[in-house]
């Protein structure tokens, strides 16, 4: 009995302050900016946006992006695809799109210099080639599937809300059982650590961003020397956004589930390997923040399922107050987890997924998701998108 009480008290000391911090963030949710809706441009927006797409062997998934960008209206001045010497015919697909839409052009970036990661290097090269007449720089990944009216909606929202930089969370396309179970648990590690999408975050070190759809004033990007300050970051989007926020500019992260979709990785193993190793955001955070986030995730996401499963042999519970408080707290955390799962359901396209029902069992993957963040936090990537570093 004494051992059970002592362990319960220790776990309460770990979990109670983490739960209070989590609630302080989640309670901001009702004030968040609503999800973006597709919009039509207005005449003054003519030619105000330069779109940059970094590519490296993206032939199997870039076609929906090219088609979606062609459906954007006259606010898009140019679409520059910066290719890093793809070997699969990616540039040929862009050149074919150019025959139908002259806004497309493809350039090859310079050889990757020491100290740079491939993605920020390609985006930096693209920025240098954008027209100085464009007011906005829009970075987009090759796996994005934009809806008509996306770019107009982004620009109008940024102008109306006074943002110098705004990025969007997408709707994720799921196909296979493993990813339907694992991917929502990995996404939840972000939802627990940061303010909800649509809430303006005042602290630069807590700013969140998504480089898959990343709109920035060209003048602001020029003021910070393009992507130079994020040159060695494997999460360059968050690193750059935090640097821009620290320079005094207004940065926003909004819900874009109604204006763009993304098919990121094929299956659970690729999701675990590729996405999991950038979710720790260690390149954009100091060591204390990384450790603080690991404590929070362990306390409110990783432990509840394990603790509740551990309680099963003890039922009915003995009359020990610490034990009953711990049981109640973790039931409460599990209720929060399922409520958040319901809230993020519109952020997933599971219409054609095999085993889509496993999405609702993703809380059982939470200990694995937290473990993935731990593993990533203490490892420096040596290979990314086919490149060795």
283 contacts: CB under 8 Å, gap ≥ 6? 232, 233, 234, 235, 236, 238, 239
CA pair distance 368, 302, nearest whole angstrom: 8
**Environment class of 302 (CB within 10 Å of its CB; exposed 0-12, middle 13-18, buried 19+):** buried
Q: What is the pLDDT of residue 263?
A: 94
> How is the chain split into domains, by residue range?
2-29+286-380, 43-278
Residues 348/341, Cβ–Cβ less than 8 Å: no
Taking the C-alpha atoms of residue 148 and residue 97, their distance in angstroms, rounded to an integer, is 17
Can you tell me the distance from the alpha carbon of 262 to that of 143, in angstroms, rounded to the nearest whole number? 6
Q: How far apart are CA 205 and CA 147, in angstroms?
A: 31
Q: How far apart are CA 356 and CA 383, in angstroms?
A: 31
Please give the pLDDT value at position 335: 97
Architecture of domain 43-278: Alpha-Beta Complex (3.90)
Averaged over successive runs of 10 residues, the pLDDT of the chain (389 residues) comes to 82 96 93 95 96 95 96 97 92 95 94 90 95 97 96 97 97 96 96 93 93 96 95 93 96 97 92 86 90 96 94 78 91 97 96 95 97 90 65
Q: Treating both helix axes as pointing N-terminal to C-terminal, what angle do 303-311 and 366-377 enclose, rounded to 10 degrees?
A: 140
Closest to 83 measured CA to CA, from 65, 103, 63, 110 = 110
CA-closest candidate to residue 150, choices 167, 164, 134? 167
Distance of CA 194 to the CA centre of its chain: 11
Say what the pLDDT of residue 3 is.
79
- Quote the pLDDT of residue 385: 63
Write phi, then psi, for 352 (nearest 5 degrees): -110, 20
d(CA 81, CA 273): 26
Could you give the count of Cα atoms lying within 13 Å of 202 in the half-sphere of its Cβ? 1
Measured between alpha carbons, how far is 249 from 244 in angstroms, rounded to an integer? 6
Give the whole-angstrom CA distance, residue 351 versus residue 354: 9
């Amino acid at each position: 009995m004494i051992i059970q009480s002592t362990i319960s008290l220790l776990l309460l000391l770990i979990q109670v302050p983490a739960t209070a911090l989590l609630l302080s963030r989640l309670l901001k949710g009702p004030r968040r900016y609503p999800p973006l809706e597709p919009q039509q441009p207005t005449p003054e927006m003519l030619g105000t946006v330069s779109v940059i797409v970094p590519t490296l062997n993206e032939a199997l998934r870039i076609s929906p992006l090219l088609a979606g960008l062609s459906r954007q209206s006259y606010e898009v001045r140019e679409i520059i695809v910066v290719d890093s010497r793809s070997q699969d015919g990616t540039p040929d697909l862009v050149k074919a799109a150019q025959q139908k839409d002259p806004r497309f052009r493809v350039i090859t970036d310079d050889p990757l210099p020491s100290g740079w990661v491939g993605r920020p290097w390609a985006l930096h090269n693209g920025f240098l080639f954008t027209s100085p007449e464009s007011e906005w720089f829009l970075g987009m990944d090759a796996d994005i599937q934009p809806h008509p009216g996306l770019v107009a909606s982004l620009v109008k929202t940024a102008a109306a809300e006074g943002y110098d930089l705004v990025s969007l969370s997408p709707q994720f396309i799921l196909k296979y059982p493993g990813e339907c179970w694992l991917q929502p648990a990995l996404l939840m590690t972000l939802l627990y650590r940061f303010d909800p999408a649509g809430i303006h975050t005042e602290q630069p070190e807590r700013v969140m961003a998504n480089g898959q759809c990343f709109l920035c004033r060209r003048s602001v990007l020029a003021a910070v020397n393009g992507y130079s300050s994020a040159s060695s970051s494997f999460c360059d989007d968050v690193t750059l956004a935090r640097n821009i926020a620290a320079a005094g500019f207004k940065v926003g992260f909004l819900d874009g589930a109604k204006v763009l979709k993304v098919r990121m990785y094929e299956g659970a193993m690729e999701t675990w390997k590729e996405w999991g190793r950038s979710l720790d955001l260690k390149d954009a955070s100091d060591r204390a923040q990384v450790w603080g986030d690991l404590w929070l995730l362990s306390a409110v996401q990783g432990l509840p399922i394990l603790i509740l499963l551990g309680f099963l042999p003890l039922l009915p519970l003995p009359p020990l107050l610490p034990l009953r408080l711990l049981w109640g707290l973790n039931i409460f955390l599990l209720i929060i987890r399922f409520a958040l799962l319901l809230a993020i359901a519109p952020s997933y396209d599971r219409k054609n997924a095999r085993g889509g029902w496993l999405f609702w069992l993703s809380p059982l993957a939470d200990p694995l998701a937290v473990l993935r963040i731990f593993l990533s936090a203490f490892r420096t990537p040596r290979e990314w998108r086919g490149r060795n570093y």
